[in-house]
């Protein structure tokens, strides 16, 4: 059995849509999987060998299937279905162009790819809706994982759960993902996700709009970027975001795009102002390009938890990128940049015939 799983990267929030909006983009994590059924025993930990190339190579991503995020998630899903290890013998070559901890949903893609991997090697027959439940037991905000799973420009929400199901969703991550035991099976059964934890709706995306991603060469772990956010907000700031989030999906779906309308509907007061403590010069960077100063620019925001900046535009991509890169440079920060477009298909598994 030989197949490839492709999971897109994603940009969450798009300004005011904190933990709600996600956009899948055209850079893909790939798992090239071979299951050699002619073998009857395997020397590999839990029957799984991993090789890796791309971002996070050179040792920062573990090749131990009990430590690697993708295979830990797959083991969680397999064990929920009473399959204790990978089938003998599973070999996975991971190709990852998505930079880690930069706000482009690397962990969302890894979690979705892990659930897909379990579904294929374990022949579990899970629907995408059920796969989303498993993803949400690991990454608990739905914006990146729903975008990576379903593709496109999505609005997401968590369903109201019964009290007993809420407590199941709040189980610490350490009890969900298998701990490293050196390949020894403890026999523990992880918690099954409640049914129907989250939901999504795909919005229209105007085909003229492309995405300039400015990727600084430093990491902001999402957990840290969530720590700096307040526990409660001023009513005026919440209303400010609600007013803009009501416009955003309409503004980005309209063709031809209206730059002033998009620019104002991408403003945020819930997460970006607080994250400037982690991203030097963030406020100035977000103000350094406007539709007036840079024709073609539609809007600008922090991508996910940052530090990547996402500028939406219809033209002048290079000029916009170079202005933002120069702005980061004044703070001593080097950046890469990429021109991306929405990935409409979401995660796929394709078999070699």
Ligand X SMILES: N[C@@H](CCO)C(=O)O
Which residue ranges make up the site for ligand X (CB under 6 A)? 12-13, 18-19, 141, 143-144, 222, 225-226, 271, 304-305
The item of ligand X, ligand ATP, none sharing an interface with residue 13, based on CB under 5 to 8 Å by kind, is ligand X
Nearest to 284 by CA among 330, 215, 225: 330
Rg (CA), the chain: 21
126 binds, among ligand ATP, ligand X, none (CB under 5 to 8 A by kind): none
Which of ligand ATP, ligand X, none binds 106 (CB below 5-8 Å, type-dependent)?
ligand ATP
- Give the nearer residue to ligand X in terms of CB position, either 304 or 342: 304
Q: Which residues contact 184 (CB under 8 A, 6 or more apart)?
A: none
CA–CA distance, 90 with 228 (Å, rounded to integer):
41
Residues 6+ apart with CB under 8 A from 97: 27, 28, 29, 54, 55
Closest separation in Å from C-beta 153 to ligand X: 15
- Which residues bind to ligand ATP, rule: CB under 6 A? 12, 29, 56, 61, 68-70, 96, 100-108, 110, 144, 221-222, 304-305
Name the binder of 226 from ligand X, ligand ATP, none, CB < 5-8 A by kind: ligand X
Query: What residue spans of the chain are helical by DSSP H?
Result: 69-80, 106-121, 128-138, 142-150, 163-169, 173-176, 222-227, 235-245, 248-253, 259-265, 272-275, 282-287, 317-329
Of the two residues 92 and 197, which places its CB atom closer to ligand X in the complex?
A: 197
Rounded to the nearest 5°, which phi and psi values hold at 81? Answer: -110, 25
For ligand ATP, the closer of residues 221 and 230 by Cβ is 221
56 or 216, CB closer to ligand ATP? 56
Contact 52, 30 (CB under 8 A): no
The Cα–Cα gap between 190 and 198 comes to: 20
d(CA 43, CA 267): 54
In the complex, the smallest distance separating the C-beta of residue 170 from ligand ATP, rounded to whole angstroms, is 19
> Which CB, 209 or 220, lies closer to ligand X?
220
Our CA angle for 263, 281, 142, nearest 5°, is 60
Smallest gap from residue 261 Cβ to ligand ATP (A): 26
Query: Which residues are CB-contacts of 311 (< 8 A; sequence separation ≥ 6)?
Result: 211, 212, 214, 289, 297, 299, 300, 320, 321, 324
Q: Residue 113 or 225: which CB sits closer to ligand X?
A: 225
**Quick one: what does residue 141 bind among ligand ATP, ligand X, none, with the CB cut-off 5 to 8 Å set by partner type?**
ligand X
Closest distance to ligand X from the beta carbon of 101 (Å): 10
Residue 272 binds: one of ligand ATP, ligand X, none (C-beta under 5 to 8 A by kind): none
| Shortest Å distance, C-beta 271 to ligand X | 6
Min separation Cβ 254 and ligand X, Å: 25
Nearest to 118 by CA among 104, 106, 101, 130: 130
Q: How far is the CB of 285 from ligand X (least distance, A)?
A: 17
8 within 8 A of 113, measured Cβ to Cβ:
no
Q: Give the residue with the Cβ less far from ligand X, 72 or 141.
A: 141
Nearer to ligand ATP, 72 or 294 (CB): 72
In the complex with ligand ATP, the residue whose CB is nearer, 12 or 309, is 12
| Least distance (Å) between residue 144 CB and ligand X | 5
| Nearest approach, Cβ of residue 141 and ligand X (Å) | 5
- Selection from ligand ATP, ligand X, none that 156 binds (CB < 5 to 8 A by kind) is none
Query: Taking CB within 5 to 8 Å according to partner kind, which of ligand ATP, ligand X, none is near residue 104?
Result: ligand ATP
Residue nearest to ligand ATP (CB): 304
Q: Which pairing describes strands 48-54 and 90-96: parallel, antiparallel, or unpaired?
A: parallel
Q: How far apart are CA 62 and CA 85, in angstroms?
A: 18
């Amino acid at each position: 059995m030989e197949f490839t799983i492709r999971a897109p990267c994603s940009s969450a929030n798009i300004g005011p849509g904190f933990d709600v909006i996600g956009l899948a983009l055209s850079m893909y994590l790939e798992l090239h999987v071979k299951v050699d059924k002619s073998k009857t025993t395997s020397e590999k930990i839990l029957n799984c060998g991993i090789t890796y190339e791309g971002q996070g190579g050179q040792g920062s991503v573990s090749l131990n299937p009990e430590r690697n995020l993708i295979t830990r998630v797959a083991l969680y899903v397999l064990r929920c279905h009473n399959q204790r290890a990978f089938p003998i013998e599973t070999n996975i070559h991971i190709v990852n162009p998505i930079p880690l901890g930069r706000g482009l949903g690397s962990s969302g893609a890894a979690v979705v790819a892990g659930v897909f991997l379990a579904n294929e090697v374990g022949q579990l027959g899970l629907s995408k809706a059920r796969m989303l439940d498993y993803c949400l037991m690991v990454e608990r905000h739905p914006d990146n994982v729903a975008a990576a799973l379903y593709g496109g420009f999505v609005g997401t929400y968590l369903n109201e759960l019964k009290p007993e199901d809420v407590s199941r969703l709040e189980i610490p991550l350490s009890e969900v993902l298998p701990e490293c035991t050196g390949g020894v099976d403890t026999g523990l059964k992880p918690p099954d996700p409640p049914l129907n934890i989250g939901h999504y709706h795909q919005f229209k995306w105007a085909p003229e709009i492309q995405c300039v991603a400015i990727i600084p060469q430093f990491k902001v772990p999402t957990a840290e970027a969530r720590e700096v956010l307040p526990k409660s907000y001023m009513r005026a700031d919440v209303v400010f975001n609600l007013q803009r989030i009501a416009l955003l999906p309409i503004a980005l779906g309209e063709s031809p795009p209206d730059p002033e309308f998009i620019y104002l509907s991408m403003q945020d007061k819930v997460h970006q102002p607080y994250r400037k403590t982690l991203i030097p010069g963030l406020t100035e960077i977000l103000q350094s390009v406007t539709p007036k100063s840079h024709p073609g620019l539609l809007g600008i925001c922090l991508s996910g938890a940052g530090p990547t900046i996402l500028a939406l535009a219809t033209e002048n991509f290079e000029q916009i990128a170079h202005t933002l890169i120069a702005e980061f440079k004044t703070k001593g920060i080097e950046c890469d940049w990429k021109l991306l477009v929405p990935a409409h298909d979401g995660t796929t598994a394709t078999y070699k015939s």
